Structure 1
Amino acid sequence: MNDGLQYIDIIFIAMVAAFLVLRLRSVLGRRTGDERKRPNPLTPGEDVGDNVVALPGRAPLQAAGTPGSVAGGLARLRLADPSFSPDAFLQGARSAFQMILMAYAKGDRDTLKPLLSPEVFRNFSGAIEAREKAGETMETDLLSFKDVDFTAVDVRDRDAYISVRFVTEQVNTVRDPADAVVEGNPNHIEVVTDVWTFCRTIGSADPNWELVATQVPEEA
């Protein structure tokens, strides 16, 4: 019972298609275009729209929190939301990362839309559209997670922001209409580091966290 309750409070617990369809309908039904734009407190001086880029061209990671901010942020989040479980969140984040990465490669907008903020979805969709117009196809094989951990956690007003670093092994290729490889190498395994920022309004009836930014550390 406790495990079930924890999963309800993390990202995208329902991995079955029926749940995703229901979530999509409910989310779209609530968005009117007049919602407040949430600033990203994990990137001082920037708003969410400025930090979001389409995969695989991630933006360099700006200051994503100060030393010691993770422990303090998690403590504040647990006070604001006692049901929050860091371990369950990271487990859900792994599933979300894989789902979003695969959906982006396949150009599956229906899967992406309920999982991303409007700003991120516009960028992902734009990159997919450019690929489609060029007649290109993308193949992504996520081989393993080498590391998944928090990089920053903050609570501002009713909004909780969590940045997670994913270090993964991937094989990525882009092919042209003639099936020739124009980017990547199907025989080369890349170690890829991403930092994704998720946001959720504490107390919201919607249990899902939205992806609001994708970035890559400058040293990666």
Structure 2
Amino acid sequence: MGSNDFVTLFFLVAAVLIFLQLRSVLGRRTGNEKPPFEPYGSRDASQVPGTDDGKLVTLPRRDEGGDDRFSAIDSFAKPGTSLNSSLRDLVAVDPSFNPKEFLNGARLAYEMIVTAFAEGDRKTLKNLLSRDVYEGFDGAISERESRGEMMKSTFVGIEKAEIKQVSVKDSEEQVTVRVVCQLITATFGKDGKLIDGDPEAVSEVNDIWTFARDIRSRDPNWKLVATESEQ
């Protein structure tokens, strides 16, 4: 076998191994899935979004059959509570929803969005936000740019993330999450002088974000549809 044939064979084997690894992580579609229950998209969501540069975030969901899906709900939220009841209602129309997996995806999406906003990364934001929310973020970035300001932000970590409310209206499911995180944020003017924040101090941020997706859509991604800061 010539050297060129060996190189070709090497890359072919590597490609097959990479494909198998990705399939084991991301899963695969068989063509038999129920359209409404394919993942995220968040309501807009889950970078799921397919970003051209791969910055998509799928709020993970796993098919759970029979009573197992409700067992996952009961282990997440105490039976008899309003949250448990609303989660059961959601799973009744979307059996693939798993609260723990969703929350893990929401944490990832939160970090990506906060980081993208600070960097003015509109491409990433567009794939993670609903149209209305994106317009608000885009407007804030444009104002910052028009003044020649620069925001520097370091994401320290998320202290707490919890599902506060769940609802299903018509074909849209919504999940509201409370996030408590630590950030280092500072904004500098075009002359380089600090005008807001502190480049060395860690601050606590409390946000309440709502993610949503169309249950009828084959898109598994969720999107951020509403934000507010908790005082």
1:185 aligned onto 2:198: yes
Pick the aligned partner of 2:189 from 176, 188, 192: 176
Contact 1:198 1:211 in 2 (8 A): yes
Q: Deviations over 1:90-147 (max 9, x none)?
A: 1100110011111100111111112111110111000000000000011111101110
Q: Deviations over 1:38-85 (max 9, x none)?
A: xxxxxxxxxxxxxxxxxxxxxxxxxxxxx9442222111111111111
Residue ranges of structure 2 left out of the alignment (5+ in a row): 1-23, 29-36, 59-79
Q: Which moved more, 1:1-10 or 1:89-98?
A: 1-10
Query: Where does structure 1 differ by over 6 angstroms across 4 or more consecutive aligned residues?
Result: none
What SS does the corresponding residue of 2:86 show, helix, strand or coil? Answer: helix
2: distance between equivalents of 1:79 and 1:109? 36
Q: CA-atom RMSD, angstroms?
A: 2.7
1:151 aligned onto 2:151: no
1:198 paired residue number:
211
What SS does the corresponding residue of 1:150 show, helix, strand or coil? Answer: strand
- Number of residue pairs matched by the alignment: 174
Pick the aligned partner of 1:107 from 105, 115, 120: 120
Contact 1:171 1:188 in 2 (8 A): yes
1: distance between equivalents of 2:170 and 2:49? 27
Contact 2:211 2:222 in 1 (8 A): yes
Specify the structure having the higher radius of gyration (Cα): 2
1: distance between equivalents of 2:216 and 2:25? 19
Identity of counterpart residues, as a percentage? 36
Q: Deviations over 1:154-190 (max 9, x none)?
A: 1111110100011001111000011111000112111
Residue ranges of structure 1 left out of the alignment (5+ in a row): 24-66
Q: Write out aligned runs for 1:1-220 (5 A).
A: 4=27, 8-9=39-40, 11-12=46-47, 18-20=53-55, 68-217=81-230, 220=231
2: distance between equivalents of 1:85 and 1:112? 25
Q: Specify the code of the residue in structure 2 equivalent to 1:179.
A: G
Superposition deviation, residue 210 in structure 1: 1.1
1: distance between equivalents of 2:199 and 2:38? 35
